[in-house]
Every structure is written in C-alpha cells, then in structure tokens.
Structure 1
C-alpha cells in the first residue's frame, strides 16, 4: 500500500469515527436534551452496565434520541413530575436495529451469562426468545418508545457501575439491597427479566405498586401506552413511524464534545 493510499484510508476512518460521534438526525427525530435538558439521561446500552455486560452496537454516544412527538410528550410528563419535586430519568430511547441484532446474537451464546445475577437471576437464557425478552424487532427502533424511571428532584448521584469491580446484586432484591441508581422504588431494577417486573405484579411492595401506578398514569395522560411485561417501558400511542424500524446510530448532537 502506498503512502498516499494509506493516508487516504486513515482519513476515511477518522472521518467515519467523527461522523459516528455527532451528526444530523433523520427528519422527524430530535435529541431529547434539545427539547428538555432537565430530563436525566443514564443510557445503559452505551456502557457495560446492562444485561449483556458490554457496550451495545450502535450506541456511539450516551444520548436519548426520539421522534419529536415522543420527546415533546415526555417533556410534559417531566413538567408534571417537576411540579411534585420529582424528575424523569431515561435509560433507553431510540434503539438502532443493529443494537437489536446484537441482542439476538448474544442470546444465542448460551454460555455467556456474565450478568445473570443482576438481570435474569431465575430465567434460563435459552428461553429468552420463547419468553419474549429478546426479539428480532423492537419498538424502540421506531423511535417513539422509551424506558424510564422517576427520581427525586434533589436525588444524589447514582452509584457508578465499574466493570469487574461493582458487585452484582439481584434485581429483585429489597430496595436497599439493589443497585443504587437513585430512582424511586419500583419493585425491581431496570431491565430485570422476571415476573416481578410486570407492572401489575402483586409480588412487590405497596410503595412500588404506588410508584408504578403513578408513572403509568402520568405516561398514559400524555399519550403513552405501557408494556405488560415491563414497568419501565412505554410507547407513544400515535407514533409517527409505526411500521418503520430505523438503523442509524445513536450519536451526539452536532457540536457536542465527544463523550
């Protein structure tokens, strides 16, 4: 390879890397922080603190991206929470198809159960497809689905997960014994693959049931519908792209510093 060819290849690779970090979004999509910067973002799939245990393909920045109607509806939910001394926090928003493909590949690697204790303590990984925990398509890829929780407005910083050093706690454990993500008690951690995560589960505390009902009522009031298996998961009823599964990467806003 000539010096000129090598230089061209390096320039192309650098250009791709920079474009992956920040760039324009498809028409109809926005960065949530451009609509409501007060909604807290803890984008779990950008790092290793998730049920796979490593960053997920397609997440090039720890950013929530949504269709504009979903982002604006979420801002209304947050405004009501703020008036009550609370705030909304998002764990996941738009999810590229390439990320879903990563989930599917991982689910077939049955021996890889690094995060079992924390996310699926009593579920056989071989049953993930049958139980619906992993599918080849996700509503998140349509851009109007969010995974959320609620935190106190004056909440202290959440515990920082350090790969290989932070002890894995059972996602169904009592509130004070689970990972301290600074959210209210919803009965289980986020992404806990267990029947206790079902919004109508009677196996969680009265406090958790109250918090689930409060969140569901607010989200429903502003146009979101729940998922029967996950208390944190909501989809805009009138989503603008109900049949389209997008595959652009999650990137930072243009001009934002690299994460």
Structure 2
C-alpha cells in the first residue's frame, strides 16, 4: 500500500511537471510571434512613454526594460500597411505604447489605489479623482497585454505632432474621439488617424482617440507578462 501511494504521488508530480513545461513551451512559442515594430517601420517615430518617467504615473513602469514597440506579427504587418497610407498623405506615425506586460498593468493599479500620489494630476487627470479612473481608463486587465493593441498619433513630415485637442493619456472626456469641445481642425486630425487605422483593420476606442486594436486578435483571451526588452 505504501509503495502504491508513493507511485501515485510520483505519477502526479510527473504530470504536474510535464504540464508546467508544456505550458511554458506554449508561452515561449507565442512570445516568438511578437515583432519589434521598428524593424517594419524604420521611419516611424517611437516615444515609448512607460519606459520613461514621462507618463501619468511619473515613473518608469514595471516590465519596460527597453523603449521598444512589440506587437503580434499579424498586428505589426497591418500597422505597416497603415503607416504606408499615412506616408502617402505626407504624415508619419509617432507610437507611444504597444504590447504592455501584465506586471505594468499591475503597476498602474497600485498607483491608482494610492490616494497620496497626485504628482501628475494637473497634467493627466485635472478634472477627475483617482477613484474615477478605475474601469474606463485603468483596469486590472488591459487589451495591450494581448499584443494586438497600440497607442499612437500622427505627425507632419518634420515630426511635429498634429493637434489632437488633448494629450496622450489624458484621462478626461476631452480625449473622447468625438468630444464636442474640440475644434474643427482637431476633429479632422483625429479622424485622419482614425480613418487610416480603420482602413487597415484596426478598431478605435471611443474614449481615447489614440487607442486602436487590430481585429481579429491573435490571442483574445491571453494576457502576456514577458518583459519588453
């Protein structure tokens, strides 16, 4: 009986070990499907905000070891097509964020739950309390962690950002694509970006003019956590 119990325990441990190794192999295989977008868009501009302190938290964010834009290959190639259309119009892309590790999202959640840290309030959420950021703006899970979502804007041929009426990552209804307070020119600029992205297969997010997700997503139910490096 003792030998039988030992055999069952060894068998169970073997199954658990095999399952863990198999899952790790699957995750590694999926990770290999991500592309450094700069290799496909060498003339695009990259301002990866969460690698720096120039963001709504005011500090470099967990998981960003390099200022790279990583995306699943299907999204990256679709973005390449969109970029070509922007260039034909005499414009360029400036990209702020792409794949976002789950640990970065966790960092955002810790920040939003700290009522004493209000260093960036005047710039990024002047009209909202931190408790109002949860849900529509900051959530425990982000589509960015699936590898098919990115944040970007348009620039002219000299690299100057088009006036979109609000800063990237400004938590306010002013950032809604169709907010009534923006000017005719600002609305036109937002729609230049939106139309280029939609034509390439990306879906917009009405609350944030800069946010687009390629459809169909390669891994709609997976939230990756490997570092950007």
TM range (shorter): 0.7 to 0.9
Deviations 1:23-72 (A, max 9, x none): x9812111001222112110000010100000000000000000011111
Aligned to 2:100: 95
Separation in 1, partners of 2:146, 2:56: 22
Aligned to 1:80: 85
Whether contact under 8 Å (2:162, 2:189) holds in the other structure is yes
- Quote the offset at 1:230 in angstroms: 0.1
Aligned to 2:109: 104
The structure carrying a bigger helix percent of its residues is 2
Map of 1:106-145 to 2, 5 A cutoff? 106-130=111-135, 132-145=136-149
2:157 aligned residue (153, 156, 162) = 153
1:31 paired to 2:31 = no
- Quote the offset at 1:237 in angstroms: 1.2
Unaligned runs of 5+ in 1: 1-23, 156-181, 252-259
Separation in 2, partners of 1:98, 1:234: 21
Separation in 2, partners of 1:95, 1:42: 14
1:214 aligned residue (192, 215, 221) = 192
Separation in 2, partners of 1:72, 1:61: 21
Unaligned runs of 5+ in 2: 1-28
Report which of the two structures shows the higher radius of gyration computed on alpha carbons: 2
3-state DSSP of counterpart to 1:90 = strand
3-state DSSP of counterpart to 1:147 = strand
Aligned to 1:178: none
Scaled by the length of structure 1, what TM-score is found?
A: 0.76
Aligned to 1:3: none
Aligned to 1:14: none
- Quote the offset at 1:193 in angstroms: 0.4
1:59 paired to 2:64 = yes
2:201 aligned residue (223, 236, 239) = 223
Matched residue count: 201
Scaled by the length of structure 2, what TM-score is found?
A: 0.85
3-state DSSP of counterpart to 1:129 = coil
- Quote the offset at 1:242 in angstroms: 0.7
Separation in 2, partners of 1:214, 1:31: 25
3-state DSSP of counterpart to 2:177 = coil
Separation in 2, partners of 1:218, 1:111: 40
